[in-house]
Amino acid sequence: MPGKIAVRGAGPVGCVMALLLHAAGKNVRLVQRKAVQGKAPLKPIALSHASRLILERIGAWRALEATPISTIHISQQGAFGRTCLSAADAGVPALGYVVDYASLLNCLLSRLEDSGIRIETDSGDALLVVHAEGTSNALKEKNYAQEALVALVTTSPVAARTAWERFTPEGPLALLPLGGRYCAVWGMHPERAQALCSAPEAEFLLALATAFGGRAGQFVAVGERNHAPLALRVRPSRVGVREAFVGNAAQTLHPVAGQGLNLGLRDAWDLAQVLQDAQDPGEARVLQRFAALRRLDAMASVRITDFLAEAFLGANPLAGLMRGFGLTALDICLPARRFFARRMIYGTSALP
CA–CA distance, 252 with 270 (Å, rounded to integer)? 18
Shortest Cβ distance from residue 80 to ligand FAD (Å)? 27
Smaller CB separation from ligand FAD, 11 or 81:
11
Burial (CB count within 10 angstroms: exposed 0-12, middle 13-18, buried 19+), residue 283: middle
Interface with ligand FAD in residues 127-146 (CB under 6 A): 132-134
Smaller CB separation from ligand FAD, 79 or 184:
184
Contact 244, 290 (CB under 8 A): yes
Smaller CB separation from ligand FAD, 105 or 327:
105
Size of the site for ligand FAD (CB under 6 A): 31
Q: Of residues 81, 171, 172, 260, which one binds ligand FAD by CB under 6 A?
A: 260
DSSP H helices, the chain, are 12-23, 49-57, 87-90, 101-114, 190-197, 201-212, 260-275, 284-311, 317-332, 334-346
Smaller CB separation from ligand FAD, 216 or 261:
261
Taking CB under 6 A as the binding criterion, the range among 10-18, 198-206, 281-289, 313-321 that sits at the site for ligand FAD is 10-18
Contact 253, 277 (CB under 8 A): no
Contact call for residue 12 and ligand FAD (CB under 6 A): yes
Q: Of residues 255, 281, 282, 347, which one binds ligand FAD by CB under 6 A?
A: 255
CA–CA distance, 261 with 12 (Å, rounded to integer)? 8
CA–CA distance, 304 with 319 (Å, rounded to integer)? 18
Contact 262, 220 (CB under 8 A): no
Q: Of residues 55, 127, 261, 330, which one binds ligand FAD by CB under 6 A?
A: 261
Smaller CB separation from ligand FAD, 171 or 258:
258
DSSP H helices, 256-283, are 260-275
Contact 309, 55 (CB under 8 A): no
Residue 7 CA, chain-centre distance (Å), reads: 20
Smaller CB separation from ligand FAD, 79 or 212:
212
Indicate the DSSP class of residue 180: T
Beta bridge pairs of residue 178: 181
Q: Of residues 14, 81, 172, 320, which one binds ligand FAD by CB under 6 A?
A: 14
Q: Show the site string, 202-241: x = touches ligand FAD by CB under 6 A, - = not.
A: --------------------------x-------------
Give the residue among 150, 159, 133 at the shortest CA–CA distance from 184. 150
CA–CA distance, 340 with 352 (Å, rounded to integer)? 20
Contact call for residue 264 and ligand FAD (CB under 6 A): yes
Taking CB under 6 A as the binding criterion, the range among 8-16, 18-26, 85-93, 314-322 that sits at the site for ligand FAD is 8-16
Taking CB under 6 A as the binding criterion, the range among 160-168, 190-198, 246-254, 320-328 that sits at the site for ligand FAD is 246-254
Q: Of residues 50, 112, 148, 278, which one binds ligand FAD by CB under 6 A?
A: 148
Burial (CB count within 10 angstroms: exposed 0-12, middle 13-18, buried 19+), residue 224: exposed
CA–CA distance, 240 with 118 (Å, rounded to integer)? 26
Contact call for residue 119 and ligand FAD (CB under 6 A): no
Contact call for residue 32 and ligand FAD (CB under 6 A): yes
Interface with ligand FAD in residues 37-96 (CB under 6 A): 43-46
Smaller CB separation from ligand FAD, 172 or 320:
172
Q: How many CB atoms lie within 10 A of CB 7?
A: 34
Q: Give the 3-state secondary structure of residue 13.
A: helix
Interface with ligand FAD in residues 158-177 (CB under 6 A): none
Shortest Cβ distance from residue 260 to ligand FAD (Å)? 3
Q: Which residues bind ligand FAD (CB under 6 A)?
A: 8-14, 31-33, 43-46, 132-134, 148, 150, 185, 228, 247-249, 255, 258-262, 264
